[in-house]
Chains A and B, each alone.
Chain A
Amino acid sequence: MQQYFEVRWHGRGGQGAKTAALLFGEAAMETGKYIQAFPEYGPERTGAPVKSFNRLSDGPIRVHTQVINPDVVVVLDASLLECLDVTEGIKEGGTLLINTQESVNELKKKLAKTEGYKLAIVDASKIAMELLKRDVPNTVMLGAMVKVTGALDWDSALASIEEKLNSKFRGRKEIIEGNIKAIKRAYDEVKVA
């Protein structure tokens, strides 16, 4: 069967898990990949746990099932560790990336499974608060994501994200520049345990 690179994003309603998947998907497409980006729809409300997904490939993607065994799991809000198993189905040798201010040892106590994958952490909320003045970790996490997975070419991914932000925020410079700066900082600050 064709090999896919699959991602699962965990967030809370309003944190931009869907937008993150869409941005990541579009950035991947700009680098020549075939992509899927889709949210899981349920009774979403601000604060409710939500998921979204990516599927990437070098050829056309025909599979339309849910992502069961992701290569990468990204957690936008570490408080989700208290209420769900974010390691569920994670592929052997995959990556779990968490936005947190806690240490790896503290985190491991909350995870159902601690072996068989790579754990990476970054304090994206802090970066967002400092550079964007709001706790919106989704775009920030893209930087860490690209770094730890090596799934995309950094320069073209960054260019694509900048372009998307440009059209989304209609040229509002301080927001776009702040986001790009934050993404770069997450790229630099992400730590692999």
Chain B
Amino acid sequence: MKILAKTGNEAMAYAMKQINPDVVAAYPITPATEVVQIFSNYVADGEVDTEFVAVESEHSALSACCGASAAGARVMTSTASQGLALMHEILYIAAGNHLPIVIALVNRSLSAPINIHCDHSDTMGSREAGWMQLYCANSQEAYDSIPIALKIAEACGVPAIVSTDAFIISHCMDRLEVLEDDEVQKFIGEYNPKYFALDLENPKTYGPLDLQDYFFEHKRSQIDAFSKVLSTYNKVAKEYEKLSGRYYPAVEEYKTDGADVAIFTAGSTADTAKEVVDELREQGRKVGLVRMRMWRPLPVEEIKAALGKFKAVAVMDRSDTMADFGGPVFLETRGILYDLDKKPIITDYVYGLGGRNVEIADIVRVYDEISEIAKTGKVKKLVTYLGVRGEE
């Protein structure tokens, strides 16, 4: 085991280097610029065999990735925010064609107003595109998640996004435990796609016109491929644990035993909240944390099992649906828990938009309020905007 000091971006680029993909087509964007820049250095220094395609936009980047992936290559790219938004059209094309591309993504807010800092609006806005989504809490997890995601993507024919929080993780140097290159190679295995366009003996057509008679059937089969992602994930995550000693469940429970209330959140905030849970537990408070790591596909049964046992749950959403009804994690979690006979009261805290710092005190406040709700059964405010001036 090697220990390195690396930022989140460096960690993801390092994982890409160890994977040594056939093709990377990318266009740099803050705060994921470094991933592209560092990886292109690896290419220039001959440390990888990758064909690096410099393009003129993210739309072109993912288009080139689709072409390369359809041709049978192992393909990766990196982007953030507006870049993912510009890829939006092609996200569906990659997914619809079952091209197992992996994006090393940094979560950043979407304009307007212009902002370069963290929130989850970019990936949350792409959650219907048919990509697996893994939200990482720190750079170690980001590093570990890249080979995990690649392996699942290739096994299921589903593309994947691995994301970290802008600046908070992407630009924070942290202690990182890395695997040896050959360990990573052995873990991901050789990529031998069953079908590929550049098979000259058996040529294929990708992406033909598909109308009323068959489009729906093909979409149904795409959803079916997606339904296999979670079980594959569970298997691959265990395999990775054997290799690295680090295990990441799709839905992570932290000190939930005997807890009355829990926060349900993702990304770096979940890591910070663990410290708050420790502190409150020491004071004898019955609080726990559930971290959502996978948000596509939705780990429905895991979420029911994790959250169903509490009296009250506070979802912390780092984006908003503009439905005037809270954030996406809140809305979907309510949907998941609807069928439970005994379900917790759920409220939403939309927080941290545009990189607004979330402080320990903010998280303590959420635990205080949710504990009060559990005690009284009364919800004063279903959706709270946390840490914004002019709000209570």
Contacts and interface: CB of A to CB of B under 8 A. Distances in A.
Q: Do chains A and B touch in the complex (CB under 8 A)?
A: yes
| Interface size class, chain A | 20 to 34
Contact of A37 (B172, B271, B359): B172
Contact of B271 (A1, A29, A38, A62): A62
Nearest to A4: B275
Which 3 pairs from chain A and chain B are nearest by CB? A64-B268, A38-B172, A37-B173
Contacts of A29: 3, 5, 175
Contact of A64 (B165, B173, B175): B165
A64 B5 contact: no
Interface string B260-286: 000000001101101100110000000
B226 interface: no
B274 A62 contact: yes
27 contacts: A1-B275, A1-B279, A2-B278, A25-B173, A26-B173, A29-B3, A29-B5, A35-B174, A37-B173, A38-B7, A38-B171, A38-B172, A41-B116, A41-B171, A60-B175, A61-B174, A62-B271, A62-B274, A63-B275, A64-B168, A64-B169, A64-B172, A64-B271, A64-B272, A65-B357, A65-B360, A66-B359
A29 B274 CA distance: 23
Nearest to B165: A64
Given A64-B269, A65-B360, A38 B275 contact: no
Nearest to B267: A64
Contacts of A141: none
Interface in B337-365: 357-360
A68 to B, nearest CB: 7
Given A64-B268, A65-B357, A39 B275 contact: no
Interface string A171-193: 00000000000000000000000
A117 interface: no
Given A62-B274, A63-B271, A38 B138 contact: no
B117 interface: yes
Contacts of A86: none
Given A64-B268, A65-B360, A38 B165 contact: no
A36 B174 contact: yes
Nearest to B118: A64
A191 B359 CA distance: 35
A65 B169 CA distance: 10
Interface in A32-82: 34-39, 41, 60-66, 68
Given A26-B5, A41-B116, A35 B359 contact: no
B167 interface: yes
A102 to B, nearest CB: 32
A56 B378 CA distance: 41
B275 A62 contact: yes
Most buried by A among B5, B165, B172: B5
B269 A22 contact: no
A94 B269 CA distance: 27
Contacts of B172: 36-38, 64
Contact of A2 (B165, B167, B275): B275
Contacts of B357: 65-66
Interface of B: 3, 5, 7, 31, 116-117, 138, 165, 167-169, 171-175, 268-269, 271-272, 274-275, 278-279, 357-360
A38 B173 contact: yes
Contacts of B360: 1, 63, 65
A1 B274 CA distance: 10
Given A39-B171, A63-B360, 15 more contacts: A1-B275, A1-B278, A1-B279, A26-B5, A29-B3, A35-B174, A36-B172, A38-B167, A41-B31, A64-B172, A64-B272, A65-B358, A65-B360, A66-B357, A66-B359
B359 A64 contact: no
Contact of B5 (A25, A63, A68): A25
Nearest to B273: A62
Most buried by A among B165, B175, B271, B359: B175
A63 to B, nearest CB: 5
Contacts of A39: 171
Given A36-B172, A63-B275, A41 B5 contact: no
B288 to A, nearest CB: 15
B279 A41 contact: no
A39 B357 CA distance: 14
Contacts of A26: 5, 173
